[in-house]
Amino acid sequence: MVYEQNKSLEPDQDKRKLLSALCHGSIFISALVVSIGIPIAILIVSDDSVVKENAKEAINFHLNVWLYGAIIAALSFLTFGLLGLILLPLFFLFNWIPPILAIIKSLSEPNQSYHYPFIFHLL
């Protein structure tokens, strides 16, 4: 009986892991609107509260990446690219490392949503 109860919970955990990791990993698909469409679709379709929190967090991260990219582009333009030489590597680290950590965290602890550090939240 206990095995049957645990077995019925496994697909929900696997589904939660997959959808949460997909939300956070969507940033790697492209820098276009397509990548933010994945967490928005998951937010609309999913009934799981943890998956919804991860989708909101991924959407907020996308918006932050776009904002910081626009700021760096403007500063690079104003300083003839000199400031871009300094800020662009930091931007790429910010764009790659937190989503990787979010994917690892959502796969290792599927019952908790991941919150990105140093971002502002709109949702």
- In whole angstroms, give the CA distance from residue 23 to residue 9: 21
- Count CA atoms within 13 Å of residue 59 on its CB side: 17
Any domain includes 118: no
Give, for 121, the enclosing helix (H) or strand (E).
none
Residue ranges of the chain whose pLDDT lies below 50: 1-4
Helical residues (DSSP H) of 1-123, grouped into ranges: 2-25, 33-45, 49-78, 82-108
State the pLDDT at residue 1: 46
Question: Is 113 within 8 Å of 61 (Cβ atoms)?
Answer: no
Any domain includes 65: yes
Any domain includes 122: no
Any domain includes 38: yes
State the pLDDT at residue 10: 52
Any domain includes 123: no
Question: Is 123 within 8 Å of 59 (Cβ atoms)?
Answer: yes
Residue 80: domain span: 12-108
Any domain includes 85: yes
Any domain includes 117: no
Any domain includes 100: yes
Local structure of residue 28 (DSSP, 8 states): G
- What's the pTM value of the predicted model, to 2 decimals? 0.86
- In whole angstroms, give the CA distance from residue 71 to residue 67: 6
* Number of domains observed in the structure of the chain: 1
Q: Which two tokens stand for residue 7?
A: 């077995």
CA angle at 102 for the pair 101 and 105, rounded to the nearest 5°: 85
